Amino acid sequence: MSKSIHPILISMIPLVEGLAKTFGRNCEIVLNEISDSKRSIIAISNGHVTGRSVGSPMLEAGVKAVRKGNDADNILNYSNKSSDGKILKSSTMFVRDDKNEIIGCLCINIDISEFVVAQKALEELIKTDIKGEINLGDFASNNVNDVLMNIVTDTLEANGKPVAYMNKDEKVTIVKKLDEQGAFLIKGAIDYVAKILCVSRYTIYNYLDEIRVNG
């Protein structure tokens, strides 16, 4: 890489491969140099998890933290998502120089999508009949955006499969269930659902047309 990299960050590059080999192929390890967030990655292992490589930008959560400057705190064990819908468990740890100024960050992104699928399968296996079960969707909300988010979240959780593992028919089924609940009567629902399902807004329109034609 042509740009100058801080010696502290250079010394950390061997950690990237070592950690990745320790935790396996579903664990992406990334070392970022923060002076250019659009081309921040200086070392990465298991980049297939988020589809990035050296010279790629950091994820949005890291960018937001960096914007806080030297007051930024490490962000540990948070939920994240890749551009293709993988569910990630992430941590972002900042690297500081001898003046306590942030010069980079070491990020861990673990693809837990398969574990989420397994969790849903286990929940289905061990569940029992419960009387008086509360449906969180019945609670009123003062914010229509909250209503939309709750409908979409509940529908996806009931499906039990991460978006990254859904085929077209499964996404059509999700859209059908949302339509039946009136989700698309809420302003902005098309764009929101398209983002969640990792498709274009025009694809959502096509799904809706297909659903209404087939009944």
- On whether both 108 and 148 belong to a single domain, the answer is no
Answer yes or no: is 132 within a domain: no
Contact by Cβ (8 Å): 31, 106: yes
pLDDT score for 73: 86
Dihedral class, residue 77 (left if φ above 0, else alpha if ψ from -120 to 50, else beta): left
- On whether both 142 and 97 belong to a single domain, the answer is no
Answer yes or no: is 1 within a domain: no
Q: How far is residue 104's CA from residue 191's CA, in Å, rounded to a whole number?
A: 34
Tokens 């010394």 sit on residue: 11
Q: pLDDT of 48-90, one tens digit each? A: 999 999 999 887 777 777 777 777 889 899 888 888 888 999 9
- On whether both 173 and 142 belong to a single domain, the answer is yes
- On whether both 163 and 203 belong to a single domain, the answer is yes
Q: How far is residue 3's CA from residue 41's CA, in Å, rounded to a whole number?
A: 12
- On whether both 147 and 65 belong to a single domain, the answer is no
Element (H, E) at 42: strand 41-45
Q: How far is residue 168's CA from residue 210's CA, in Å, rounded to a whole number?
A: 12
For residue 179, give every residue at least 6 positions away whose Cβ sits within 8 Å of its Cβ, in sequence order, or none: 208, 211
Answer yes or no: is 105 within a domain: yes
Answer yes or no: is 150 within a domain: yes
Tokens of 211: 């659903």
The residue among 114, 148, 177 that closes a domain is 114
How does residue 132 score in pLDDT terms, banded at 50, 70 and 90?
very low
The residue among 61, 80, 114 that closes a domain is 114
Residue-by-residue DSSP string for 92-144: EEEEE-TTS-EEEEEEEEEE-HHHHHHHHHHHHHH----TT---GGGS--S-H
Q: How far is residue 132's CA from residue 12's CA, in Å, rounded to a whole number?
A: 54
- On whether both 25 and 78 belong to a single domain, the answer is yes
- On whether both 11 and 110 belong to a single domain, the answer is yes
Q: pLDDT of 7-37, one tens digit each? A: 999 999 999 999 999 999 999 999 999 887 6
The residue among 52, 81, 114 that closes a domain is 114
Does 142 score more than 60 pLDDT?
Answer: no
- On whether both 31 and 109 belong to a single domain, the answer is yes
Domain count, the chain: 2
Query: Best-predicted range by mean pLDDT among 67-71, 79-83, 129-133, 197-201?
Result: 197-201
How does residue 129 score in pLDDT terms, banded at 50, 70 and 90?
low
- On whether both 99 and 157 belong to a single domain, the answer is no
Q: Which domain holds residue 160?
A: 137-214
Residue-by-residue DSSP string for 165-197: G--HHHHHHHHHHHHHTTGGGSTTHHHHHHHHT
- On whether both 80 and 148 belong to a single domain, the answer is no
Stretch 167-182: mean pLDDT, rounded? 91
- On whether both 56 and 108 belong to a single domain, the answer is yes
- On whether both 89 and 176 belong to a single domain, the answer is no
Answer yes or no: is 128 within a domain: no
Answer yes or no: is 125 within a domain: no
Answer yes or no: is 88 within a domain: yes
CA dist 42 → 10, 26, 80, 91 (Å): 9, 20, 21, 17
- Does the reported pTM lie above 0.85? no
Answer yes or no: is 204 within a domain: yes
